[in-house]
Amino acid sequence: MRGISVLRRLTEADGVLSLSALEKATGLARSTVDRITATLARMGYVRLDGRDAVLAPRLMELGNAYLASIRLPRLLDAHADALADELDESVSLAVADQDGVRFIHQATRRRAMSLSFRIGDLLPAERTAPGPLFAAEWGPEDWARWRARREADPEGRGFPAVPPREGAYDDFEARTESAAARGWALDDQLIEPGLVAVSVPVRDPRTGRVACVASVVSHTSRHTTDSLRSTLLPRLRATVARMEGELAGTPREPAAPDGGSPPPSPTPTPTPSGLAAWTGASKQELGREFIESLARGLTVVTSFGEGRADLTLTDVARATGLARATARRALITLEHLGYVESSDRVFRLTPRVLGLGFPPLSMLPLPRIAAPHLAELSARVHESASLAILTAGGDEVQYTARVATSRIMSVNITLGTRFPAYATSLGRVMLAGLLPEVSLPERLIPLTPRSVTDPRELLTVLERVRADGYALVDGELEEGLRSIAVPVHDRDGRVTAAVNVAMHSSRRSVEQCVEEILPELRATVHRIESELWVAGMFRRVPGV
């Protein structure tokens, strides 16, 4: 419970807090905060950066477990994206979290005035278009909970994702009745001035209940509430009909022969394995600084996933390698905190899991994911390390993250710098991985006497690079500059970027670069890819 409290405070602080600030925010003793953050760092969920605790992308595996288990983003996000492209407006999918609403998918438009809501953000139901549609299915207990919260927090200050506002509750019950009767709902600047939205429920064809709500969000400079109804609502309804058809066509997961949990899907997400042994080894190495109960409790969350939405106690114990009694204590604690719910001895995750770090981490671009790993690489090899992407067309590389060494003579390259791709190690590993999708320039300009300028020779070089998995360029971009690069792959195995180490040729020979730098470079890229794959499971990670 204390560990989850630390994760929640870090989430509310947008992912970064000093250890002393965590002590004040949680009310925990400093020694407890230190032990919790040490445990989270061991799990890869938090990075300790000087006196600060920083949420790490791997923490997103908790929210990914929930999103994979409900399967809605996987089934419906392509429809939401297509509608956003058709309307040139932002489209979102949301689920209910008691008397709040959480987004599970966002297809946003890039504009000067654009939405800043993130996947996992919690909004009060009464200030959203989806809220009345969810509230239409509330029972007396749900309404009592909402009224109690309204009286305790009349301005909604408990929802940091939106600015406080008095009077947002006034007509919520009437709007709920109207939404139930019409089958759609409007947000007419309830969240903030200028923001308008129209929402339609996506119902589970098997139960008839609301599975999620799809919304089109715009600005009053582009649409009034009248034009939302007349122009956007019909197309939103058509998309929701396709979404419901998608849900209807999804086969129901068959029950296990023994009446337990359903079997996994053909390609389930990875389950934890050897947890008991790993936590035991970590405890032996770190001693009292490692909190086994916290590590075990959080890993129980990741035992859920696609094909594993409903698990019995036996399922969880088997997936984690924990004793049944240990798994049971973890599940009971998670249920008490609202992250797990149960019925008929079957457990499932709730949307509240998204509140554990997912909102701030869901906005991380690749350069910010890579930056701490580049810093570690540079410190280990005592040379400059960089991340770059290919520009459109593949003609140039653009530097998007970089860590330089403190030397009198060093490689001086700033972020945003572009170089011809064919003459750089970064460009060659990306071109090699993307050919024939990108074309090589017809004319190769000699930048130094060593530059490869024959297109056929360059193609031969790229084929060798693809076979070797790395590129080494010696004095072709600039005399005396030697660099070695490795590609970065996304979840689909596609080359999306590259990392290199660059130095003056006097410091290491070509052979030393391969023997000493390449293993460190590959290990760094492996760590970047592991975090990129977690961060990109349910969203596209921007390259810049």
Quote the tokens at residue 67. Answer: 């999103």
Question: Among 86-100, 173-187, 410-424, which is the least confidently predicted range?
Answer: 410-424
Average pLDDT for residues 464-480, to the nearest whole number? 94
Q: If we measure between CA atoms, which residue out of 60, 102, 109, 116 comes closest to residue 81?
A: 109
CA angle at residue 480 from 478 to 483, to 5 degrees?
75
**Residue 405 confidence (pLDDT) above 90:** no
pLDDT at 276: 65
Question: Rounded to an integer, what distance in angstroms lies between the CA atom of residue 47 and that of residue 178?
Answer: 48
C-alpha count within 13 angstroms, C-beta hemisphere, residue 476: 22
Inter-axis angle of helices 292-301 and 275-286, nearest 10: 150
Distance set, CA 398 to CA 121, 383, 405, 435, 496 (Å): 32, 19, 20, 18, 12
Q: How confident is the model at residue 281 (pLDDT cuts 50, 70, 90)?
A: confident
Q: How confident is the model at residue 506 (pLDDT cuts 50, 70, 90)?
A: confident
Question: Rounded to an integer, what distance in angstroms lies between the CA atom of residue 66 and that of residue 413?
Answer: 42
pLDDT (tens digit, 9 = 90+) per residue, 2-17? 999 999 999 999 999 9
Q: How confident is the model at residue 413 (pLDDT cuts 50, 70, 90)?
A: confident
pLDDT at 436: 83
Tell me, yes or no, if the pTM score tops 0.95: no
Mean pLDDT of the chain: 89
3-class SS letters over 505-538: CCCCCHHHHHHHHHHHHHHHHHHHHHHHHHHCCC
Question: Rounded to an integer, what distance in angstroms lies between the CA atom of residue 385 and that of residue 482?
Answer: 12
Q: What share of the chain is helix, strand, coil (3-state, %, to 5)?
A: 45, 20, 35
Residue 311 is given by DSSP the state B
Average pLDDT for residues 21-28, to the nearest whole number? 96
Q: How confident is the model at residue 251 (pLDDT cuts 50, 70, 90)?
A: low
Residue 250 is given by DSSP the state S
Non-local CB neighbours of 537 within 8 Å, separated by 6+ positions: 60, 64, 67, 68, 491
pLDDT at 443: 84
pLDDT at 110: 67
Q: What percent of the chain has pLDDT above 90?
A: 73
Q: How confident is the model at residue 407 (pLDDT cuts 50, 70, 90)?
A: low
Question: Among 20-29, 106-115, 202-211, which is the least confidently predicted range?
Answer: 106-115
Q: Which residue has the tokens 């035992």?
A: 303
